[in-house]
Structure 1
């Protein structure tokens, strides 16, 4: 979809609330989430074990990184990732704020000095996100949905941007398959609201396959 078309569409409309979607969609979505997460854990389990050992050997600190994120309707949950930064990453954040390359309330720099050697690899391949398959089984997240934000980011959202909280956060969405590192914060938020308007079972399945294609084809991901 052209950027101008998307902007016009999502800024003139309001995201469709959960209760306005058919119940069948959410039942099918949950079934897909459970089956997808279980298959992912079984098939990729050996890779996760190897990555965990690699992280432990590469740098001091725990294998997993847990962080409070905001989920559906503003509820908070603990999201898990493979640790990709040094153990004192949060303490160093203040010194790097001046180098932030992301617009809006989120922080991101391409050459973040806090990222470990293993961290660069697991981030490029998105392997660091795999522990969130357990968040999906718990019901905190879905395979497809807006990425979960930090509480300190959400408090700075506009009313338009807060619409993304009507759905469960997910592992992937439009942002991940449309060139995530080249997209500004405002455009990212618009894509999330666009997904909420578009979402149905076929859209979700299509995004899952596109995400796999991006990861293995190394297209637009980094």
Structure 2
């Protein structure tokens, strides 16, 4: 049932959100010259997939987990996109393709070995990664791998339709800070 809802909401979101996607894309051309950000991430069963988001950092930013990136890399438009979570809209394409779910553990990078190991031990990598979930609405990011993996496990074991919608509505209402980025030094 959740996969059916994922497809329905992804299609609906892409159709309804098309004007926003176009505007953000055009603004992104002026902001960074490369409005889309693509990055290989760890998917279900550790299968790699290419995550697509709107770019929020300058194109020359080193490819690291958000909590390891420097806040000075975020562009002015990027600050708005992150705060409003509009940078996540292109991931609806990943959801439609079956690489992600709306609700699930945030997909990590292949170089985040500690997080991958913690998630493997808890069976978290057997689920599709998600755009949002319990960790995101609770303000838990990838800087605490053990806590994140345990929170993901708890979410997946208790995920039902009520909680699926709860995490989505919490995210839409602005709950959670998203991926934390280091303050400038």
TM range (shorter): 0.7 to 0.9
Q: Secondary structure at the match of 2:72?
A: coil
The answer as to 2:22 corresponding to 1:33 is: no
Query: Which sections of structure 2, spanning at least 5 residues, go unmatched?
Result: 179-185
Point out the structure with the larger helix share.
1
Residue of structure 1 equivalent to 2:32: 59
Return closer, same or farther for 1:134/1:180 CA change in 2, 3 Å cut-off: same
Residue of structure 2 equivalent to 1:161: 119
Whole-angstrom CA distance in 2 between matches of 1:135 and 1:107: 19
The structure with the largest alpha-carbon Rg is 1
Return closer, same or farther for 1:75/1:109 CA change in 2, 3 Å cut-off: closer
Q: Secondary structure at the match of 2:16?
A: helix
Q: Secondary structure at the match of 1:39?
A: helix
Deviation at 1:205, TM superposition (A): 2.0
Deviation at 1:124, TM superposition (A): 1.1
Q: What RMSD over aligned residues (CA atoms) do the two structures have, in Å?
A: 2.2
Alpha-carbon contact 2:114-2:145 (below 8 Å) kept: no
Residue of structure 1 equivalent to 2:48: 76
Deviation at 1:180, TM superposition (A): 3.8
Residue of structure 2 equivalent to 1:171: 131
Whole-angstrom CA distance in 1 between matches of 2:119 and 2:79: 30
Whole-angstrom CA distance in 2 between matches of 1:201 and 1:40: 19
Whole-angstrom CA distance in 2 between matches of 1:158 and 1:136: 21
Q: Which runs of 4+ in 1 moved over 4 A?
A: none
**Alignment TM-score, normalising by the size of structure 2:** 0.85
Which residue among 85, 90, 96 is the counterpart of 2:62?
Answer: 90
**Alignment TM-score, normalising by the size of structure 1:** 0.72
Return closer, same or farther for 1:221/1:141 CA change in 2, 3 Å cut-off: same
Whole-angstrom CA distance in 2 between matches of 1:40 and 1:116: 25
Whole-angstrom CA distance in 1 between matches of 2:104 and 2:140: 14
Return closer, same or farther for 1:36/1:161 CA change in 2, 3 Å cut-off: same
Whole-angstrom CA distance in 2 between matches of 1:114 and 1:206: 32
Q: Secondary structure at the match of 1:86?
A: coil
The CA deviation string for residues 4-24 of structure 1, in whole angstroms up to 9 with x for no partner, is xxxxxxxxxxxxxxxxxxxxx
Deviation at 1:113, TM superposition (A): 1.3
Q: How many residues align?
A: 176
Residue of structure 2 equivalent to 1:43: 16
Return closer, same or farther for 1:58/1:74 CA change in 2, 3 Å cut-off: same
Whole-angstrom CA distance in 2 between matches of 1:220 and 1:137: 24
